[in-house]
Amino acid sequence: MAQLPSRWYFEHITPSLKLVSELTKILYVGDTKYQHVEILESVPFGRSLVLDGRTQSSEADEFVYHEALVQPGLVALEDPRTVFIAGGGEGATLREVLSHKGVELVTMVDLDQEVVEVCKEYLPRHHQGAFRDPRLKLFHQDAGKYLEDHADRYDFIVIDIPDPLEAGPAYLLYTQEFYGLVRRRLNPGGLLVVQTGPCGPMYHRDVFTPVHHTMSTALPTVAPYSAHVPCFGLLWSFILAGERYDPFSLSPAEIDARLAARCVRELRFYDGVAHYGLFNVPKYMRHGMAREGRVITKESPVFAP
Amino acid sequence: MAQLPSRWYFEHITPSLKLVSELTKILYVGDTKYQHVEILESVPFGRSLVLDGRTQSSEADEFVYHEALVQPGLVALEDPRTVFIAGGGEGATLREVLSHKGVELVTMVDLDQEVVEVCKEYLPRHHQGAFRDPRLKLFHQDAGKYLEDHADRYDFIVIDIPDPLEAGPAYLLYTQEFYGLVRRRLNPGGLLVVQTGPCGPMYHRDVFTPVHHTMSTALPTVAPYSAHVPCFGLLWSFILAGERYDPFSLSPAEIDARLAARCVRELRFYDGVAHYGLFNVPKYMRHGMAREGRVITKESPVFAP
Amino acid sequence: MAQLPSRWYFEHITPSLKLVSELTKILYVGDTKYQHVEILESVPFGRSLVLDGRTQSSEADEFVYHEALVQPGLVALEDPRTVFIAGGGEGATLREVLSHKGVELVTMVDLDQEVVEVCKEYLPRHHQGAFRDPRLKLFHQDAGKYLEDHADRYDFIVIDIPDPLEAGPAYLLYTQEFYGLVRRRLNPGGLLVVQTGPCGPMYHRDVFTPVHHTMSTALPTVAPYSAHVPCFGLLWSFILAGERYDPFSLSPAEIDARLAARCVRELRFYDGVAHYGLFNVPKYMRHGMAREGRVITKESPVFAP
Amino acid sequence: MAQLPSRWYFEHITPSLKLVSELTKILYVGDTKYQHVEILESVPFGRSLVLDGRTQSSEADEFVYHEALVQPGLVALEDPRTVFIAGGGEGATLREVLSHKGVELVTMVDLDQEVVEVCKEYLPRHHQGAFRDPRLKLFHQDAGKYLEDHADRYDFIVIDIPDPLEAGPAYLLYTQEFYGLVRRRLNPGGLLVVQTGPCGPMYHRDVFTPVHHTMSTALPTVAPYSAHVPCFGLLWSFILAGERYDPFSLSPAEIDARLAARCVRELRFYDGVAHYGLFNVPKYMRHGMAREGRVITKESPVFAP
């Protein structure tokens, strides 16, 4: 009889739902000034980054998350040259951005230098050397403070930060105030993308619909989309927003042509067809958005459960 | 301090991956002639049917699974009147079929009468009384044998059976021989739909791609699609097939118009927009299908891990 | 391949240690005025009573717990006729007491009538009909209040209540004040026994040693002992106390002779030999007791972690 | 809210019972020629050695196991000078043996050199440098073969090997043949001790009672005893055997005097009182032994479940 697996990682999706994977290595465990950090390795997911007990991404499926987060926005823009990334410590969001050869400058602001150092060392398949690209300017401070203090504008702004946990540092970047600030830092025609938490049938009202409604009060166009990222255990949501954005203005073939012309990496999840899969979201998500009225502000935050 | 939950249901997605939910009730546990049957209730999913240790559907998200399984095919057909269901013991596939008022006759063949009786009693929110509809003819025998023995033809055939487990009774209905038989039982222009197992980044080659390839050897057109069903813990695949079928021949508005004209229930997951989300599958699924060469036959079966 | 078990009960021994058993039935779940009550059935333990998430006893090993709790005291007494039980809702402590034919009157005070009713219905192998014995007088109120209000004295007093959880109703019965009160309710030569929580190498200082020290400030003689009760996941402690008590004053043969003369049931755990196993506790327990200085009072309670 | 623990080690006590501890480090995982080896660290137990999925000992409670295994036999012997250890890779059995200053020569035969090397490196608190003691002769081969090939005799023989798993290398050392061989390798008056698996109410008939009965067919005196070792999750059994041995021939004070005179370490679990706790085993164990008739031979082995 083969031995039963005995080491397990429990991802606490909610207090009543866990995704449990066979653990092979505990590569790093530590506390930074801001959060609890783990680099774990499991049979189904390979290496993953876990912050405050929540998986941020894993080797097995980070390509779904990071391509979905970055590629639709970059492809939609006519000629994106300057990109701002808030968070993204694994370096995989950066990797996706840099894969577009037209990008000339990436300003990445991740609060937690220690997380970035840990990812550099333990997650080489995530960043694939992106941190050494000369187009990168990397800062370690609060992304909101950076954007307040620097009036630079960008073609594309990516908010790749943890869910708005009550205990964590991220929740202030899910507010109306922050989205208003971001809007002022976009070049004309520029786009903003945000990862906005789970959006499956049971949990889309926890974070996704209030963030969607809040963004819609701060920016003229907001386009939600969803993808299944297995290590999160749930369907995941994203919102792309700007002065005007129509996710269906380019045909699948046009998207593929832009990728062929601009992107130097072979993508694994995203292309023209997958784009239409992303943005045609289930009816229950649209129903939830239509009935949502909460506006998230500093004074009335919303926390992930 | 609130008490920690202490009763848990472990869904064994793979030997190294589990979806774990807080268990509130064990409503039924028993062994039929064919399989181990459980009706469980959990905090995140409500009541669910578990066969041989695998969740078949749950109250919280069965609407995603059953609408995705049934509605695209019924909507695509010009005037579906006769439907054959293999499996579907919960009665929710039947419920979806009967929601189309043009349907005149449903022949449902589920091997396991005991499962159907248990579902009738314990899963009223699934079947919603569908078993009492006079359009239903219900038989309890092997669906393959029934189709062999009866030359009736159908507008729509739905294969809603468990995954092809080595120990279970279902694997013979995932073979080239079976799909050839089903093709001969379709009316001209008729359609077949099959639930075809997980299709996320890590597991789509286990069952989905070989079944897809096998179906493509037996029917002229095969259209794969995917949806996230939380209680399965993974992205789930379906394949709609027939003499000819183009999932994009109807616009979202045309799909909505057909639903409005034909379907007497308000759907929660499926409509014209969701349809485009279903059929525009991720690139890695298409990549996996393109490289798949296995043809499943009785002599060379493929089993879910 | 046999199906893996999928339903599990997690006993939270500590936040970092769980005893996990395969769950077969959830017979009862409810909240009384005082606590959360579950009657569960598992493969290793059969039926068990769980209060506020802590197993109180199980069919498979309650004989160890209840014989260890009751028999040493009854055997030590010359002619025990009147017994007071605080708690003991399962009725198994009562069963052990009534097994001594010389016992004429048992006053049992369990705060929670609903728990007793649930146990009567679901735990017949525990109580074995003891609640119908005419020697029993059963009251439902706080045992401390009852003893304050009634000046009756007893030959033997058994404190069979849950651990002193911060949230639960029991902690006030682990105080110096309470033990002083109990002493005044003992007949001359009478004995008191208390279940006093885990006492294995890692956890004996949490509850056992402070309770031991507290009892030693309230009663002249305190004799600790320990037994392994599997469903608790740890070695378990008890303390027998009185004006004077020497656990080794009777030889094993004398204990067996008293049992043969007085006890109408065949015991499964306890006899003269087992008695010597109980009271000769490990060195680390004696070391822990020797270094303990905490006295538990209403104003300075000690809680189980 | 403090973060819930997310990394867990599952000790598979039986298919239906697990002891689950919070995992802090995976220090070593590997396969030797003979078995799967893990060195893990958990919150409740510290570092532990796990062979083929079974915990052999842990820092938090190995003192109970190793003192219980070694000290009663050494104390009982008049003047033990030569000791043979089969297994004992952690080096803690060796440490206990060497703590007796009269011991002049220890022959330790552990099949698996790699396990010993791993323990030397990762379990310093177990061996405490014992492997460097000049009184040790360490061999890596089958202990049964060694005893067959070498006619040396010993004052004390310790069998400290894994449970008789069907897949593992140990089961042949739980046979009548082996115990007969061991008897021929004892000096006059010499003693043998064996760890003999779980002996709680539910599992003592799996390994303990058949091994006890088998030993009783091979040696004139067999004295079983039990101790609670938390990391095993169950009460644990040992058997001390020889031409003649009476566990109660020395009083507690005499045992303490012998320890004071001979043993250079301060013990934490064992002394004269604890000795009487060990050997006065529960009635159900004696009842199980009395009804046991199985004799384990090479042709009719007994395996741990």
DSSP assignment letter at C100: B
Asked if the model's pLDDT at residue A169 lies above 90, the reply is no
Q: Where are the beta strands (DSSP E) in chain C?
A: 7-14, 17-31, 36-42, 46-51, 54-58, 82-87, 105-109, 136-139, 154-160, 186-198, 221-229, 234-242
CA–CA dist C243, C153 (Å, integer): 14
Asked if the model's pLDDT at residue D168 lies above 80, the reply is no
Q: A170 falls in which pLDDT band (50, 70, 90)? A: confident
* Amino acid D305: pLDDT: 80
Which chain B residues have a beta carbon less than 8 Å from that of C3? 36, 52-53
Place of tokens 């970092």: C16
| Shortest CA distance from B2: residue in chain C | C167
* Amino acid B166: pLDDT: 83
Which residues have CB under 8 Å from A46's CB, separation 6+? A58, A59, A60, A125
In the beta sheet, which residues pair with residue A158? Answer: A85, A193
Q: D166 falls in which pLDDT band (50, 70, 90)? A: confident
Give the residue-averaged pLDDT of C50-75: 97
pLDDT per residue as tens digits for the range B31-83:
999 999 999 999 999 999 999 999 999 999 999 999 999 999 999 999 999 99
Strands D82-87, D154-160: pairing kind:
parallel
Angle between helices A252-262 and A272-279 (to 10 degrees): 120
| Contact criterion met (CB below 8 Å) for D37 and D51 | yes
CA–CA dist D31, D57 (Å, integer): 18
Pick from D44, D252, D284: which is nearest to C16 by CB?
Answer: D44
pLDDT per residue as tens digits for the range A70-89:
999 999 999 999 999 999 99
pLDDT per residue as tens digits for the range D49-93:
999 999 999 999 999 999 999 999 999 999 999 999 999 999 999
ipTM of the complex: 0.96
Which chain D residues have a beta carbon less than 8 Å from that of A7? 7-10, 23, 26, 40
Half-sphere exposure of C264 (CA within 13 A, CB side): 8
* Residue D75: both structure tokens together: 């104390």
Which chain A residues have a beta carbon less than 8 Å from that of B226? 228, 277
Quote the percentage of chain B above a pLDDT of 70: 99
Give the residue-averaged pLDDT of B75-102: 98
SS (H, E, C) B41-80: EECCCEEEEEECCEEEEECCCHHHHHHHHHHHHHHHCCCC
Quote the percentage of chain D above a pLDDT of 70: 99
* Residue B203: both structure tokens together: 């597991």
* Amino acid A3: pLDDT: 80
Q: Which of residues 108-137 of C touch B (CB under 8 A)?
A: none
Burial class (CB in 10 A: 0-12, 13-18, 19+), D184: exposed
Helix or strand run (H / E) with residue A159: strand A154-160
CA–CA dist B119, B66 (Å, integer): 15
Give the residue-averaged pLDDT of A271-276: 98
CA–CA dist A3, B87 (Å, integer): 35
| Contact criterion met (CB below 8 Å) for B36 and C3 | yes
Asked if the model's pLDDT at residue A1 lies above 50, the reply is no
pTM (2 decimals)?
Answer: 0.96
Strands A136-139, A186-198: pairing kind:
unpaired
Q: A2 falls in which pLDDT band (50, 70, 90)? A: low
* Residue C80: both structure tokens together: 């025990």
Give the residue-averaged pLDDT of A150-166: 95
Strands D234-242, D186-198: pairing kind:
antiparallel
Q: A6 falls in which pLDDT band (50, 70, 90)? A: very high
Q: Which of residues 144-203 of B touch C (CB under 8 A)?
A: 166-167
Please indicate whether residue C160 is annotated as part of the active site: yes
What is the DSSP annotation of D124-178? HHHHTTGGG-TTEEEE-S-HHHHHHH----EEEEEEE-----SSSS-GGGGSHHH
CA–CA dist B130, B124 (Å, integer): 9
Task: Say yes or no: C16 contacts chain B, CB-CB below 8 A.
Answer: no
| Shortest CA distance from C17: residue in chain D | D21
| A87: region left, alpha or beta (phi > 0 left; psi from -120 to 50 alpha) | left
Asked if the model's pLDDT at residue B1 lies above 60, the reply is no
Of C1 and A215, more confident: A215
Asked if the model's pLDDT at residue D2 lies above 70, the reply is no
Asked if the model's pLDDT at residue D193 lies above 90, the reply is yes
* Amino acid C202: pLDDT: 93
Q: C2 falls in which pLDDT band (50, 70, 90)? A: low
| Shortest CA distance from A200: residue in chain B | B230
CB contact under 8 A, D201 and C22: no
* Amino acid B2: pLDDT: 64
The residue type of B79 is D
Phi, psi of B30 (to 5 degrees): -165, 170
CA–CA dist C195, C55 (Å, integer): 14
Place of tokens 């050397």: A129
CA distance A99 to chain D (A): 35
Which residues have CB under 8 Å from C265's CB, separation 6+? C99
pLDDT per residue as tens digits for the range D255-303:
999 999 999 999 999 999 999 999 999 999 999 999 999 999 999 999 9
User: Quick one: CA torsion of D74, D80, D83, D89, rounded to 10 degrees?
Assistant: 30
* Residue A43: both structure tokens together: 């049979």
Q: Enumerate the H helices of B164-282 as residue ranges.
A: 176-184, 208-218, 252-262, 272-279
CA–CA dist D71, D267 (Å, integer): 9
pLDDT per residue as tens digits for the range A46-71:
999 999 999 999 999 999 999 999 99
Which chain D residues have a beta carbon less than 8 Å from that of A10? 4-8
CB contact under 8 A, C7 and B8: yes
Give the residue-averaged pLDDT of B266-295: 98
CB contact under 8 A, C273 and D286: yes
Which candidate in A52, A160, A163, A271 is catalytic? A160
pLDDT per residue as tens digits for the range D135-156:
999 999 999 999 999 999 999 9
- Domains in chain D with CATH codes: 8-57 (2.30.140.10), 62-290 (3.40.50.150)
| Shortest CA distance from B225: residue in chain A | A277
CA–CA dist B182, B196 (Å, integer): 16
Helix or strand run (H / E) with residue A222: strand A221-229
* Amino acid D167: pLDDT: 74
| Contact criterion met (CB below 8 Å) for A137 and A107 | yes
* Amino acid B165: pLDDT: 84
Long-range pairs of D5-8 with CB within 8 A, sequence gap ≥ 24 = D5/A10, D5/C15, D5/C16, D5/D43, D6/A9, D6/A10, D6/A11, D6/A12, D6/A50, D6/A53, D7/A7, D7/A8, D7/A9, D7/A10, D7/A23, D7/A26, D7/A40, D8/A7, D8/A8, D8/A9, D8/A10, D8/C18
Place of tokens 């644990």: D236
**3-class DSSP state of A293:** coil
pLDDT per residue as tens digits for the range B165-184:
887 778 899 999 999 999 99
CA–CA dist C119, C134 (Å, integer): 19
CA–CA dist B277, B227 (Å, integer): 8
Half-sphere exposure of A55 (CA within 13 A, CB side): 34
CA–CA dist B188, A296 (Å, integer): 55
User: Quick one: CA torsion of B45, B46, B47, B53, rounded to 10 degrees?
Assistant: 30
The residue type of B28 is Y
**3-class DSSP state of C115:** helix
Asked if the model's pLDDT at residue C1 lies above 80, the reply is no
Which residues have CB under 8 Å from C273's CB, separation 6+? C252, D280, D281, D283, D286
